[in-house]
Structure 1
Amino acid sequence: MPVGTDETMGVSNGSALLEEQQETSADKKTISQLLGIIHKPRCQGAAEVSATFSTLQQIKLKLSACLDSIRGWFSEYRQLAHFFSLLCFLLVIVTLLQTFCLVQITFLFQSQSTLQETKLRDLTNRLEKLNQSYHLLFSQYPALNQYCPVSNSTTGERACRPCPADWTPQGEKCFLFSQDRADWMSSQYRCMALGGAVATVRTEEEQVFLWKKAQSLSQGDSYWLGLRSGGSDGSWQWSDGSPVEKGPEFRLHEPDNRDSRELCGRITPGDDYRRSWYISRCSNQLRRICERRQATLQ
């Protein structure tokens, strides 16, 4: 029993010893690995650090380049944004100016249109009043129809002139060459009935006009003038009572006052207007020339 016990204890002690040795060996191996890691060659660690640093540098450079690119793009974007803002501002200013101009033009046009309408209304009212006065005037004074005959029967428009119908203007006078014949006194009455008198000749222009007109109308016939021998001494007078001037340049043939009969002057067209005055008995039947002053608005 005891021997067995001793053997068993020896075996037990040997196993424990073997386990301790194995544990010690494992510990030593572990310590050796740790020491290997700790005492790893410095040159290998420096290379890895250098590679890592180089990578970091590259990353930094790329990041820097990217940031520079972003900054440049952002700067260009800011310039474009600034330009676009300025353009928008200018467009707004131009639009406002155009709107202001359109408003001013519209206002001016409306003002002018209103003013024109007011003027047109005023002129229309004045025209109506003038038409009323116009018709009233011709209804009260029918003699005006001689100077302003109706030229358009549809519209009632009149054409006014300084001389009545069939009278010819010359200077400040109107002359009428008759077609019928009468003695001198009847001719005077007939001219007076028309608002005039038998023609008097005061200027050379009147003499030339009457001579040419008589030539074109009478074909050689004579016309009574306003000449008459009515003085006690046989002197010649015009129909208005004024004496005949002596020696006008346009009259070379003086009326003869040696005849005691009642004589009157006439104009007979010939080759020379200065030799166209002649005398005849006042009872002869001749055409006549009537005269009257031209009408004026004064």
Structure 2
Amino acid sequence: MATSCDQLKKIQGHPCFGGNHHKNGRMHLAVAPRCNIKCGYCSRRHDCANESRPGVTSRLLTPAEAIAKVREVMASPVVGPIIKVIGIAGPGDPLANEETFETFRLVGEEFPHLIKCMSTNGLLLPDAIDRLHELDLHSLTVTLNTLDPAVGARIYGHISYHGTTYRGAEAAEILIANQLEGLRRAAGYGMTIKVNTVYIPGVNEEQIPLIGRKVKELGAFVMNIMPLIPQAEFAHIAPPSTETLDGVRAANEAIIGQFKHCRQCRADAVGLIGRDVSVGQSACVVPG
């Protein structure tokens, strides 16, 4: 486990955990196409070449292609010096894809100084946390939208877990239990943890402070309350206004630190937050 000074230094270099996002950048590697849950706010029928949102990429990469892309970016005299973090955030769920682990292994062997970061729905986190620790994962983001299975039944259409498909409150109960256990164990390994919560007006706003208290108790470092992007089953719901979102974040800041400059990045984002650069990808791909 890293010392507190080492952890603080890495956090300061991580633009998505409160570090200096004006000079420190990240590179997301889109190696994880498969997903194991169906979120009501997730759509896979968009022209992702013209979008900036989670779950889309211009091109899927194999682990070999991903490490080649890291070499290319790190060799760039313009982009290379600002990249501090290598992240895997989809376009599906990283833990549902063996390619995630192979990619982290390759990055660790060739670029051990880069922070390894991953974003997941957390369903398979208890199963995978030991492997992630062995791969020296530093930063972990878990998207946790409710602690109440009844609310979860409104957010998630189904989960696919250990070969079985679950629906309704049963599915949400399994997901929530695994998210919380995974967070607890990740904190035990000394990982820096961020919890993303999608604010869905009329669905989960009352859950937000409850989530903040629980994940703080389990060892989370920061919370990122993100506005709903209206699409799929939630296309009819208006996202929270900027003023409402700011108010919710301010109210929850007394519970846990708030990450406020998230831009809900693509699975192939490269560069500074809000100022991504092109790395030559093409042909829009969304997970199946």
Q: TM-score range by the shorter chain?
A: under 0.3
Normalising by structure 1, report the TM-score: 0.20
Larger RCO, structures 1/2 (Cα 8 Å, 6+ apart):
2
**Bigger Rg, which one:** 1
**Structure with higher strand content:** 2
Structure with greater helix percent: 1
